[in-house]
A and B are shown apart, each in its own frame.
Chain A
Amino acid sequence: MTITEENGRTYGYADLPGLMSLMSGDEKHGLAATSTLDALWVLYDRVLRVGPELTDDPKRDRFLLSKGHGPMAYYAVLAAKGFVPLEWLPDFGSYDSPLGHHPDRVLVPGAEIGSGSLGHGLPIAVGMALGLRAQGLDEPRVWTLVGDAELDEGSNHEAIAFAGPAGLERLHTVVIDNASATYARPGGIAARFEAAGWSAVTVDGRDHEALYAASTAPHPGRPHVVVARVEPKYA
């Protein structure tokens, strides 16, 4: 599943490290930011109904990168999928670049929100799901990606606690769990979503088939969370 065209060629998962190295100038350095890479790729490649030609389509799916730290994987995926020109990547973080160390929706084609301050994506995603429902747009799904440590921010829990009982079926969250939360308890992430009435699946965050299956599992009448476990950040 590597079909996309940019400048006359296609980019696949295997190209992402190379795209990221255009930003880091150093392939090893980029690895710290790649906890999100596989989930991002599976969503953009196989799950989300999005594309450079659909950025203004009211029926497109919405993907909100809430965890805005370490956005190189995100930019690499957006470049591979034709949202962002490859020529932008080497200037990553410079004064004239639209690509900052936290993304800005006003500057980055395809970015639904600007992020950086943690705990903003999920509440905004709740509002988007409500807004789409109020307009009778039943097709678009709203996805947001958060980190396990990001869930330490209380704003997420306002959103989680509301979305379950409100039955926001079109709302989806993927939690990238690299065991970086402070005072975490084993299994605590899925348990908190489930307690609020969400459908929850925990998978290996490097296993593309498992991520795909978890992301497309039916969850009638409830919002859905995919907890994607990757190798611990501080191991």
Chain B
Amino acid sequence: MDTMRDRFAPVASRLLDEDPRVAVVLAVIGSDSFEEARRRHPDRVIDVGIREQLLVGAGAGLALTGMRPIVHTFASFLVERPFEQVKLDLGHQDVGAVLVSAAASFDWPAGGYTHMAPGDVALLDTLDGWTVHVPGHPDEAETLLRHAVAAGEDKVYVRLSLQSNTTGRPVDGAPRLLTVREGRSGAVVAVGPVLDAVLDATEGLDLTVLYATTVRPFDADALRRATEGAGTDVVLVEPYLAGTSTAAANDALADVPHRVLGLGVGRRELRRYGGVEEHVAAHGLDAGSLRERITGFVGR
């Protein structure tokens, strides 16, 4: 199967063809895959070199002239390293952009901690007005990329990952939780590529499973509705920092007694290389570990 990242350049290249306002801004990473698009649109495919403060600042400058910039590099160099540019050059200047990241929390474990960004969504949560898409399948990534670019002047983050579910679900870029399974003993919210593991983990359990690919804004209404049938024990399983959406879930249920367990990538630096599956297991996000942690929490 191809990856979400494999879809990125072809989709963005088509968007460059379709809309003269679209520009792609890169910092070397991913640049090769835009070679053909650059020949067709030399002024709108811009590689600024390994300069991530300029990457985001120049994206903002493009937006200030009325363009729709798609800004791309690894998550750690897109959100973390130039975070003040994200905060000020986009947010404070009151302009939008589509930030598309790759490498996610630990897509390249052999690359070590420098190329891991489990905190990206939590960092964006400190800012106002960001839409955050976390696709769980390359087909979903394609839909969400198109939706992000078409979203007016919005500030949108699209988090691409090598981790993927086996099949894509119908997503439309709206902040909604899809009901995948219904049960009465609790609700589990699975975000993006963790869905398959969550479905395996909860097989045969009397649990509602909700699926989110657009996590900001958070669909508080759907979570409240789900708890009417499933009860107010809620487990969040996120492919980034554990607990990132715990506050959003608590806010959604503020007027009812409830319990929330936030599962995801741990804060502690593992100092391990290896492969993705090993890191999934190390953070307790494999189906077996999830089942243990979920059954240990709900209905107690």
Contact = CB atoms under 8 A, between A and B. Distances in A.
A133 interface: yes
Interface string A104-128: 1110000011100101101111111
Interface in B59-97: 59-67, 69, 84-85, 88-89, 92-94
B37 interface: no
Contacts, number: 105
B123 interface: no
Interface string B37-73: 0000001101011010110111111111111010000
A202 interface: no
A134 B66 CA distance: 11
Interface in A114-165: 114, 117, 119-120, 122-135, 137, 154-155, 158-159, 161-162
Nearest to A165: B49
Nearest to B43: A134
A162 B54 CA distance: 9
B61 A125 contact: yes
Given A123-B85, A158-B54, A129 B61 contact: yes
- Please indicate which of the listed interface residues A58, A117, A123, A133 has the most CB atoms of chain B within 10 Å of its own CB: A123
B65 A135 contact: yes
Given A159-B54, A159-B57, A134 B67 contact: yes
Contacts of B201: none
Interface residues of A, number: 31
Nearest to B23: A134
A123 B49 contact: no
B57 A131 contact: no
A199 to B, nearest CB: 20
Nearest to A159: B54
A130 B57 contact: no
B152 to A, nearest CB: 17
How big is chain B's contact interface, by range? 20 to 34
A122 B58 CA distance: 9
- Please indicate which of the listed interface residues A122, A128, A137 has the most CB atoms of chain B within 10 Å of its own CB: A128
A58 B59 contact: no
Contacts of A131: 23, 61-67
B53 A127 contact: no
Given A123-B57, A134-B43, A128 B89 contact: no
A128 B57 contact: no
A159 B51 CA distance: 8
A135 B44 CA distance: 9
- Please indicate which of the listed interface residues A104, A125, A129, A134 has the most CB atoms of chain B within 10 Å of its own CB: A134
Interface in B13-31: 20, 23, 25
Given A58-B66, A131-B67, A123 B89 contact: yes
Given A106-B94, A114-B93, A154-B53, A127 B61 contact: yes
A169 to B, nearest CB: 13
Contacts of A119: 53
B61 A130 contact: yes
Contacts of B88: 114, 117, 120
A128 B61 contact: yes
Contact of A158 (B53, B64, B69, B93): B53
A120 B85 contact: yes
Contacts of B84: 117
Which 3 pairs of residues, A with B, have the shortest CB-CB distance? A127-B61, A123-B57, A131-B65
